[in-house]
Structure 1
Amino acid sequence: MDALLLLAEARQLGVRLWADRGRLRFQAASGVMTPGLQARLTEHKQALLDCLAPPRPALCRRDEDALLPLSHAQQRLWFLWRLEGPGAAYNMPMSLRLQGALSVPSVLRSLRAVVRRHEALRTQFIETADGPLQVVADVELQVPVLDLSGLPHEQRQAQLRALVKDNAQTPFDLQQAPLMRACVVREGPHHHVLLLCLHHIVSDGWSMGVLMREFGALYGAFVDDANAPPLAALPVQYPDFAQWQRSWLQGEVLESQTSYWVEQLTGLPTLLELPTDRPRPPHKGYRGGVVRCALPTTLVAAMDTLAQRHGATLFMGLLATFQILLSRLSGQTDLAVGTPTAHRTHPDLEGLIGFFANTLVIRGELDLAAGFDTHLAQVRQRTLGAYEHQDLPFEHLVDRINPERNLGYTPLFQASFSLNNATGTLPAWPGMHLEPLDSLADQAHAKFDLSLGLQPDGEGGLAATWTYDEALFEASTVQRWADAYATLLQSVLHTPQAPVGALAWMSAAQRQQLLGFSAPVASALPVDLVHAGFEAQAAQRPHAIAVSFEDQQLS
């Protein structure tokens, strides 16, 4: 399990590891490599090789005439698209402000080169009598160029916000390739905005990093009039992976993976009952809100040190604290949190654009009388076990566990947690400064009741994004929970041996407000029991208003 822990830590830091003819290779392709991590990787290289080279068939190019099945993850999104109709819940938008002397022709040429290079970006999906298939189409990406430079400033900004929102929320037709769109907006001679959007069925978070790195490399080459693009040929394409996954993940292999998860999740409560501000609607929507805050450098560094002292990673320490928060909010001691994994278990998949990501379910069974170290040990064990059995597609897990289905919430878990430690996803363009503008979309998509996403802020701290279902929660409620999470982290660091059920999770000001310590008591209560006080008031003033809601009142 020590090797799995190292493997998990490396992947969370964006460090690529692979086995090459019996040798361990590692490279900080998109993340950071610390000297301590490099030394431990070298020390445990044989154990890591055993983890990286499990017995599985070779991944190779498909026959050209072969029908192309969907991967398991793609099939789930295809089913949801057919069930729910077109929507933007699985759009992956990106908006970048480009400042400098931009070569628009090089931008267009680079984008089209990336689309030609990756078959996933030219894939469309068709329905047949035997089920859906993917087809790689011969299409070229159309990139409109819009000029807003002649508009007054306020009108230009309003138009830009509308374009960013449109880019993020316009649905795709999965039967029409490419499932990617792009647009260049000119604000002035040295100010442009690039709008990109991909559907999740052909991309994932790791893929967006691949796209931007290749885009940046191609742009630099085209601006410099390079004869050949500086990118090595891809050994396989995404449809090759889908076919490989279908042929390998069956029979004993599938049953072995499934057995682990069934054992882990049998008996899991159906619903995480967070206290909602509104009744849960019968059908889940995707309209979400966002609360953003920051975890400071000192707190993050201290949690990282505490986790390492117990043989865990920063991810595990933060996840363990998130589970404690959910337990305190819901009153449940048995709960589950979903977390995404890149699931690129073969080195040939590292540089591909496509939907490889899988979802792992980490169950938390909390003993409120035990200390944080005990709970962290459980989270460590279950996280490593999940990584070891990450090949089972989430949709297969749901089918096998077969939880009680309800259209009002997602199966198995309703809260998710992620830590994206990879950095450097924005390319370095010659003479250009790039700045993300996704916040202008002013609308989030909430796939779950509550999601916490953390990523480095560039200064050693973490930027926290809390995404919530607006049908259930108010922003002020989620803000209180974000504050409570930060307070819990501080409590864990100050008193790690304290029972997790006794850890402070409200600030002094919140406690004072809740308990009314800031205001003197007007008079002593006439009765000792609360229900007796209600009965006395009802008897004395039977016609007084007791409850008001919108335009309704009850005496």
Structure 2
Amino acid sequence: MMNISIDNNRQVLPLTNGQLSFWFIYHMTKETANHFLPYEFEGPLCGDLLEKVLNTLLQDNEILRSSVSDWCALQYVYPYEYFHLPYEDLSGLCEQGRTASLGALFLKYAEPNFDLMKPPLLRACLVKIAPEKHLLMLVTPHFAMDGAALHQMDIELRALYQKALQGEPLRVGKKLGLAEYVTQEQSIRHSQSLQATQFWQQKLSQTNPTYLAPSLLDITNRARRGIFIPLSQAQLQEIERWCSKNKLTQQMVFLALIGKVMAKLSGNNNLCLTTVQENRDIDGARALYGALLTSLPVPLQLADSQSLLELLLQVKQTTLAVYAYRHVPWSIPLSILAHRKLAKRPWWLKMLSKLSGAYHSISKQSGLYPQALADFAAIAASDIEEDKKILRFGPHHQALTMNVNMLPSFYEQGIDTKAIEQDCAQACRITLRRELDFPVPQDDSEWEQNVLNFYIEKHPLKGAGIRLSHQCLTEHAEQIIREELYALLKQPAKVAQFAEQRV
């Protein structure tokens, strides 16, 4: 078990299971996959109060004050230091000048990767763009926040600003400490480590990497792109009926639908989809920031004769089993999949596998499992071997990762316009902007070049739907995915015309 200590006035503790994956990616690519949150404030804004709100978030959330070790899976929580919110006044510029200046500020604050060794893991800038219109540019690395934490921060930022306006105390209770969460998470991990490894070995033993035909791939443009596939009210009701009748979650239904489509597109009937498993069942964790969720593979075995109902029930059984073993480091199942892509183990992987136990011993405080180094090395080895195949034979030798992400917005209820109007009368209206009126550079990061991200969300303008984001598909492949999804949902033709919207 881990040993939490105080070193040079900073707390030393292991990473969460969720943080481990981003720690590995950071060391492989030095990319931190930043979250850019542009909050628009319409109405009278008090910048001093907003600065106090951000400082309250820093005080209450240790992950934002963390530094990560460069060689070991440890983080150091530093004492709170006051954060001064930078301020830019662009209200006097013409529209063209303001747009150019906003783009430059984005490049300054949101585009650069974080140095995870240097806290705080938060950047912000308040920009005045009109007499009563401001934009708060808020940026965090993925290491510090997952989707659920971002949703929690959104709730807290709005609530704290209202409290600040009314002169109420901003710090009213103590949050669950990061150390307390990690202690409980590691306790669960150690109690089921043997069963978890056996489970993943068994479940993933029959899966195959997913490849696409060259005609479906386009790597000439590595910028992030995609489509939005809207879902009608009738389709949503049909999904809800499936859930109610068969005791399914909506996550299970979307895993089944997207799995069926990707099996047909790729010809792989033994594939894996990756989805986020909720780890916030620990008391107090729902209000805690940090990468606390675990992204784990859900293996599917499909057959041409299999009905949709049979597939739904299979996905239900598999997802429940995966959920039971979700308190594992991401690298355990991923290393099993990596070994399935390796024709043979290179000499350096064999050597690192032998050293893994020694690394575990000398870095015992990090609470890693004994095979951690070997698992990370296997993932790296499979990536290296795959890169060689791509160079020799072409991009269709790159295996795809398919993520199915249920975003909190999908579950949100309709907006209470009367409450908003009442708030607007007292203060400013706060909106997290989805569509920006200034240009931002295309996301051409390398660490997701072979990833298809399916986001199940409720867009403020387009409504509920599936947003497909990627860096590798042709428009024809996008069209096939859209049409196959609609066919499974028995989509009326009149709705399909709206599916052409590009992301």
Q: TM-score range by the shorter chain?
A: 0.7 to 0.9
Is contact 1:221-1:230 (8 Å) kept? no
What secondary structure is seen at the aligned counterpart in 1 of 2:83?
coil
The structural deviation recorded for 1:403 is 3.2
Query: What runs of 5+ residues in structure 2 fail to find an aligned partner?
Result: 342-381, 388-396, 498-503
The aligned residue for residue 174 of structure 2 is 233
The aligned residue for residue 65 of structure 2 is 122
Q: Percent identity at matched positions?
A: 20
Q: How far apart in 1 are the matches of 2:222 and 2:145?
A: 20
Is contact 2:63-2:178 (8 Å) kept? yes
Question: Per-residue displacement from partner, 1:463-515 (whole Å, max 9, x unpaired)?
Answer: 3211112xx223x2354145314422333x89xxxxxxxxx9xx89xxxxxxx
Write out aligned runs for 1:8-157 (5 A).
64=6, 67-85=12-30, 87-88=31-32, 90-127=33-70, 131-138=72-79, 139-157=81-99
The structural deviation recorded for 1:151 is 0.6
Q: How far apart in 2 are the matches of 1:351 and 1:357?
A: 13
The aligned residue for residue 294 of structure 1 is 230
Write out aligned runs for 1:108-507 (5 A).
108-127=51-70, 131-138=72-79, 139-164=81-106, 166-226=108-168, 228-229=169-170, 231-234=172-175, 236-246=176-186, 248-250=188-190, 253-273=192-212, 277-278=216-217, 287-401=223-337, 402-404=339-341, 405-407=382-384, 408=386, 414-420=401-407, 421-423=410-412, 431-440=427-436, 441=440, 443-444=442-443, 447=448, 448-457=450-459, 462-469=464-471, 472-474=472-474, 476-491=475-490
The structural deviation recorded for 1:416 is 1.2
What secondary structure is seen at the aligned counterpart in 2 of 1:435?
strand
Q: How far apart in 2 are the matches of 1:273 and 1:345?
A: 37
Q: How far apart in 1 are the matches of 2:144 and 2:272?
A: 28
Is contact 1:100-1:431 (8 Å) kept? yes
The structural deviation recorded for 1:413 is 5.9
What secondary structure is seen at the aligned counterpart in 1 of 2:255?
helix
Q: Which amino acid aligns with 2:254?
A: L
Q: How far apart in 1 are the matches of 2:271 and 2:286?
A: 33
The structural deviation recorded for 1:312 is 2.0
Q: 1:275 to 1:332 in 2, by over 3 A?
A: farther
> Larger Cα Rg: Structure 1 or Structure 2?
1
What secondary structure is seen at the aligned counterpart in 2 of 1:67?
strand
Q: 1:458 to 1:196 in 2, by over 3 A?
A: closer
Give the TM-score, by structure 1 length: 0.69
More displaced stretch, 409-418 vs 292-301: 409-418
Alignment RMSD (CA, Å): 3.4
The structural deviation recorded for 1:456 is 2.6
More displaced stretch, 73-82 vs 258-267: 73-82
Q: How far apart in 2 are the matches of 1:116 and 1:479?
A: 44
The structural deviation recorded for 1:69 is 2.2
Q: How far apart in 1 are the matches of 2:210 and 2:487?
A: 23
The structural deviation recorded for 1:279 is 7.1
The structural deviation recorded for 1:238 is 1.7
The structural deviation recorded for 1:198 is 0.7
Question: Per-residue displacement from partner, 1:74-94 (whole Å, max 9, x unpaired)?
Answer: 233223222223x35x21111
Q: Which one has a larger percent helix, Structure 1 or Structure 2?
A: 2
The structural deviation recorded for 1:414 is 1.0
Q: How far apart in 2 are the matches of 1:218 and 1:403?
A: 49
Give the TM-score, by structure 2 length: 0.76
Q: How far apart in 1 are the matches of 2:414 and 2:331?
A: 29
More displaced stretch, 358-367 vs 404-413: 404-413
Matched residue pairs, number?
Answer: 426
Q: Which amino acid aligns with 1:338?
A: T
Q: How far apart in 2 are the matches of 1:279 and 1:299?
A: 31
The structural deviation recorded for 1:461 is 5.1
Q: How far apart in 2 are the matches of 1:394 and 1:259?
A: 15
Q: 1:454 to 1:256 in 2, by over 3 A?
A: same
Query: What runs of 5+ residues in structure 1 fail to find an aligned partner?
Result: 1-56, 495-503, 509-555
The structural deviation recorded for 1:207 is 0.9
What secondary structure is seen at the aligned counterpart in 2 of 1:364?
strand
The structural deviation recorded for 1:148 is 0.6
Q: How far apart in 2 are the matches of 1:488 and 1:142?
A: 53
